[in-house]
Amino acid sequence: MHESIEHKAPKVLVDEYGNFHQITDELARGGQGVVYRTTDADLAVKQPLDASGQPDKNANLRERFQRIRLLPMPRRIPVSLPLAILRDEPGYVMRLLNDMKPFAVFDLDGRSKKKLEDEKQALPQWLAKIPEKDLALRLLHYASTGSTRRRLRALAKCATILARLHNAGMVYGDISPNNAFIGEGDTPDVWLIDADNMRPELVSGGVSVYTPGYGAPEVVQGRDQSRPRTDCWAFAVMAFKLLALCH
């Protein structure tokens, strides 16, 4: 008797120009959408999500795509912009360097913690005597992901991108560890993704989008919209969480 093993076929998406994009793994997920890596070295796919977490069939991406293309973007700024809209499903193709990962990798989430526990890696001497195992694992993860130096470099480059956008009269709108990406190496590239929420700063009106926990009080309470100062608030929260190890 032979057991049948079902192999799930890789998901392949087609863009408006007829190019095929094979999905490999999920890079980041937030309230506005999910980002997937593809087999193409420097391309990723983003799909907007509805309230239930499914691909949003009602998303008017063509209008949004056109609006983004008309933004007064600074030249050669490392923000991942849409390249093509998907043909049969909601979403778009964007450029993203192949070795990049979200800032969220700096945090010890459940998956990273389980991996450390499964590896049964011996703690270094400077951590072995800490009575709280969770704290020891968190410090080990902090050190193994580049410690303070790598985090400060990442944050400095992210702040530079924001400063250039703000200087051009733009608002990013949704700074979070899932929207800022970092490459490998000693001098890694940093990019912002999720350009959907970018727009010029407005005197009034407009829709504000934020990641829970990162929204400025006036945005969360509906008293004001996204502005450069609310970007700075979200960036400060992200910096605190990346560096302080007390959240």
Asked if residue 87 lies in contact with residue 16, where contact means CB atoms within 8 angstroms, the answer is: yes
CA diameter of the chain: 71
Out of 114-118, 149-153, 176-180, least confident range: 114-118
- The tens digit of pLDDT for each residue in 195-233 reads 888 888 886 766 778 889 999 999 999 888 899 999 999
> Which of 194, 189, 225, 233 has its CA nearest to residue 207?
225
The pTM of this model reads 0.84
First to last CA, the chain: 53
Mean pLDDT of the chain: 85
Whether 185 is in a domain gets the answer no
Question: Mean of the pLDDT values across residues 122-150?
Answer: 85
CATH label of the domain that carries residue 26: 3.30.200.20
What is the torsional sign of CA 180, 245, 111, 149?
A: positive
Question: Mean of the pLDDT values across residues 18-30?
Answer: 88
Whether 64 is in a domain gets the answer yes
Whether 88 is in a domain gets the answer yes
Whether 236 is in a domain gets the answer no
Whether 59 is in a domain gets the answer yes
Asked if residue 74 lies in contact with residue 164, where contact means CB atoms within 8 angstroms, the answer is: yes
Q: How many domains does the chain have?
A: 1
Question: Quick one: CA torsion of 99, 100, 104, 110, rounded to 10 degrees?
Answer: -20
**Per-residue tokens: 44:** 């990723």
- The tens digit of pLDDT for each residue in 80-120 reads 988 999 998 888 999 887 788 999 999 887 666 666 666 66
E strand or H helix at 129:
none
**Per-residue tokens: 80:** 């991942």
Whether 140 is in a domain gets the answer no
Match 């799909």 to its residue by tokens.
47
Return the higher-pLDDT residue of 49 and 8. 49
Range of the domain at 52: 12-98
Whether 41 is in a domain gets the answer yes
Highest mean pLDDT among 71-80, 134-143, 205-214: 71-80
Whether 48 is in a domain gets the answer yes
Other Cβ atoms closer than 10 A to 175: 30
